[in-house]
Amino acid sequence: MATAVRDEVRRRLAEGQNEPARVLEVGAGTAATTRLVLAELRQFGPSVEYTVTDVAQSFVERARHDLSGGPVPMRFAQFDVEQPPEPPDTGRYDVVVAANVLHATRSISAALAGLRGTLRPGGCLVVNELTADDPFVTLTFGLTRGWWQFTDPQHRLPGSPLLDIARWRRLAAMHGFGDLTVVDPGPGGDEAQRQAVLVLPAAAAPASGRTPPGDLRAALRRHVRAVVTDFLRVPVEAIGDDDTFAAKGVDSLGSIALVRSLEAGFGPLPKTILFEYPTPRALADHLLDRDSDRCQALVGGAPAVITVPRSPMPRLEQPAEGDAVAIVGIAGSFPGSPDVETFWQHLAAGRCLVTEVPAERFDWRAVDGDPRREPHTTNSHWGGFLPSVDRFDAEFFGISPVEAALMDPQQRLFLQAAWHAIEDAGHAPARLRGSRTGVFVGVSGFDYHELLTTADRHEDAHAPSGVSHAVLANRLSYLLDLRGPSEPVDTACSSALVAVHRAVRAMAAGDCDGAVVGGANLLLTRELFVAFGQAGFLSPDGRCFAFDDRANGYVRAEGVAAMFLRPLSRAVADGDPVYGVIRASATNHGGRTQSLTVPNPHAQTALVVDAYRRAGVDPRTVSYIETHGTGTALGDPIEVEALKRAFTELGAGPADQPWCGLGSVKSNVGHLEAAAGMAGLFKVLLSLRHDLLPATVELHRTNPMVELAGSPFTLVDRPRAWTVQDGQPRRAGVSSFGFGGANAHVLVEEHRMDPVPVPDQEVVLPLSARTPGQLHDLATRLAAFLAAETGAAPAEVAWTLQAGRDPMAHRAAVVGRTVADLVAGLRQFLDGDPSPRVWSGLPGTESAGDTATAPPETGDPADWARRWVAGDDTLPWARLYPTPPRRCHLPGYPFAADRHWVSARETQGEAATAPFAAGAEAGGPEPDWLAVLTELGHGDRSVDEVEQMWAMSEVAP
């Protein structure tokens, strides 16, 4: 390289110019190349002026200290190669030297354009770079963040920041350089070089006398400002390069009209482009990068391409399979769907589950109106609602009726969903006691607090914990004695997916060994219906028209759901059923945009890129994305543009045939707000289980601003089988975006389990519940499940009940070899028919029989069944099998549906709801213990309250 620079300087001096030959070195770093070049230039003495630069001032000062005072006059300065040159550097230099530095830029186009602007006519750029991918180099430098900071993979070698010679030649021509020369190419020719010195001469200026690249960029900004000010009917001086269009009065509808004005000069543009590039500077730079020839023809100037650098996205190591996170259990309630299976049936049938606001929530007619003209009104009286949100099995969880009535139903329903999710994984909740299991819950709404205030119950003793979001997570940790992190998450609409992200990161960091993750959102009052209506967020049609040209806002909806997560290696070892594997997750924020609630497409792009790079996943293997897709006219196109850009940045750009479907569950159920991520994630998991992608309903005519032509994406507007080619596992992304700018994306992959032999033997189905009625309900559900031909093997069903359920008081056991045997035995129990294969009773009663003190010595299932019903909770069930079978998904516990709801305080009951009765204070008279125990029996006091009164009492009752 040093001799190439020497030869170019000699050529320049031979032209007889009257001033020294000026050399600029960029990215000098430790000055190793500088010393070699200066050794070759010593012969020219003061006929050469050498400028040493680097982006780091510390390197510049080190060079000044080490290199000053030699025969060649020296200059030292800080210089960022990705920024356009400023006077006096513009058009100043004869030779620019760049040794192993340009590959480390975010945008190679920006760097070349800027360096072209520093050269005099006839000058040249001398580059020394690796020009072939080298595994050793990648392993070495790939551990540094800078190696992966590039944002233009379309110009680089696949999976690398490097460029081969063909790419250098193509980019040189694009940015105003002449024919590239390879110095000493060797016997293999140009293309065989792994490390090459390249000479890029500056092309002669066009005869038209066009301006340098820096002036072209400035001219383009002036042109953009002129179009905008003409559109707004204001003087051109009224808008600066860095003023946002929104700040100057361009709203959502105005932005579409303004884009049409810009299209007169720039051709077809995405209608969301002003949200992506919100200032004249950002827009002009993007347009220049997009089509430099058109910009050149429009405003004149030499070819140049400048891009706006984005935040670097580091590539991280792909996690080992043992470190991946498995989703092993799920449970929840969704609009019109009391359980997950009903939810799937609705999705598969393409149903919309939005209804009018139920009368028991509030009278929507009292606030019905036109929010654009009338305050305190809303134009939406629709929503997706859960059945029976007032029902809860308080006794099951040891909570008194008075406390249950003061608990936000989001807390109550989440407790039940979490219990069911653990059971769905084939694990007994009681066996998690003392474990490092975390709890992460997305929750945002406080509607129940408003109801407590209206009923004058907000100052009651249980009210603060009853409506606390912290307690929503903490209560589960308390009741199950879980010792991992316990955190609520409120990032608005992205809360549930952010909770998933936090759980995954906590497990990776070793903060917990597993996690219960979920989301909860209930719509109990009219307050936010009115506020969101006034803000223009809601659809007056009561539909989320995702990706449809009728998109006009979203529909509010409810949901409470939970998942049980375990490390994949442990889940596989324990034979857990796996719905899917979380390969990666990512979160970020949109930063400053046109307004607080306007999404940032660049942030959405970076989010997806970050997640897929973390996973080490090729986007060509991702065949579905469950989008945020709320059904807003601009939000949906912005999301699609961000996905297109993300796939392009990841190396899966324009496509002849789309391979990745886009859908939105919000078209079925509405927008679950804080719990929205659970609805989308559950849809993906159930689609993997059933090999079917349900249709996005209400999608008849695509929003014209959703531009899919030539992209990897297609809208799933009808049900389709979910298949992939080449034996790849099916993969899907799920996105959620908070209306305050917090974004989350989760990448899920199917888990293919190797077949294992299932023992063909007689098995014991042990059942138990707290009450005889619940035991009857449990047997009814299990019989229906087995009769539905779900494919579950008898041994797997039996092992799941033996190892994955907590023993309770009322018991039954059924022995059989086949599914038909077990269904028949369950029905005999339900009908009360005597059978030698069925046992039932309450331990300690005559019907249950005696509990044996020694473990069973035989494998006779009847003996084990009798012992179970008699109350033996220590049976070593694993001894019944050569190897314990896998666990399977089975119906969960049938919770009692008792009503618990806040009501206005009654005068007679005021003392009963106070934390302490008269005389309970320390040092005061003793309470009336008979009255206290009566209140406890009636549910007017909780056990905790009575225990505290007892502790303060000087005389035990």
Q: Which two tokens stand for residue 955?
A: 């005389």
The Cα–Cα gap between 342 and 910 comes to 42
Which DSSP string corresponds to 318-344? PPPGGGSEEEEEEEEEBTTBSSHHHHH
Q: Residues 925, 452: contact at Cβ < 8 Å?
A: no
The Cα–Cα gap between 523 and 674 comes to 11
Cβ-count burial of 394 within 10 angstroms (0-12 exposed, 13-18 middle, 19+ buried)? buried
The Cα–Cα gap between 637 and 662 comes to 12
Q: Which two tokens stand for residue 866?
A: 């009798």
Residue 498 CA: distances (Å) to CA of 185, 327, 489, 551: 53, 16, 7, 26
First vs last Cα of the chain: how many Å apart? 95
Q: Which two tokens stand for residue 538?
A: 């809601």
Please choose, from the candidates 465, 461, 477, 458, the residue with its C-alpha nearest in 3D space to the C-alpha of residue 415: 477
Kindly report the number of other CB atoms within 10 A of residue 707's CB atom.
19
> In sequence order, what are the residues at sequence separation of 6 or more whose Cβ sits closer than 8 angstroms to the Cβ of residue 172?
112, 178, 180, 200
The Cα–Cα gap between 544 and 184 comes to 64
Residue 185 has phi, psi (to 5 degrees) of -65, -20
> In sequence order, what are the residues at sequence separation of 6 or more whose Cβ sits closer than 8 angstroms to the Cβ of residue 439?
418, 473, 474, 476, 477, 482, 484, 485, 486, 487, 515, 516, 517
Residues designated as active site: 493, 628, 671
Q: Which two tokens stand for residue 149?
A: 């900071």
For residue 436, give the H/E element and its range. none
CA dihedral 113, 118, 122, 128 (to 10 degrees): -70
